[in-house]
């Protein structure tokens, strides 16, 4: 962050930090503790296919939310979009 601030200036560093924070939140949606649950499933209640389907669903949700955030950032109704962003993240 310091390098981005020094090289590109404060405005670009602010945009980068905002984008990085949204990416970190979307990453949490994408992983959604599936691996943690899979490792702790010692009784093998679910098979590997079900974990893979869970991963696809959460990654699709992450992709959908990132597209909505991107489209809302270019929208005229920014206040409504910010409510949507806080609702789904």
Using the predicted structure, report yes or no on whether residue 26 has a pLDDT greater than 80: yes
Residues 56, 48: Cα–Cα separation, whole Å: 12
83 CB neighbour count, 10 Å cutoff = 12
Q: pTM, whole model, 2 decimals?
A: 0.63
Residues 39, 7: Cα–Cα separation, whole Å: 43
**pLDDT at residue number 18:** 80
**pLDDT at residue number 10:** 81
| Helices 10-31 + 48-73 axis angle, to 10 | 150
């Amino acid at each position: 962050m310091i390098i981005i601030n020094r090289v590109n200036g404060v405005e670009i560093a602010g945009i980068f930090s905002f984008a990085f924070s949204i990416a970190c939140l979307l990453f949490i949606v994408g992983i959604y503790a599936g691996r943690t649950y899979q490792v702790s499933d010692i009784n093998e209640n679910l098979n590997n296919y079900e974990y893979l389907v869970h991963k696809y669903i959460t990654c699709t949700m992450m992709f959908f939310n990132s597209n909505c955030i991107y489209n809302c950032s270019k929208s005229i109704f920014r206040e409504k979009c910010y409510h949507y962003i806080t609702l789904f993240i």
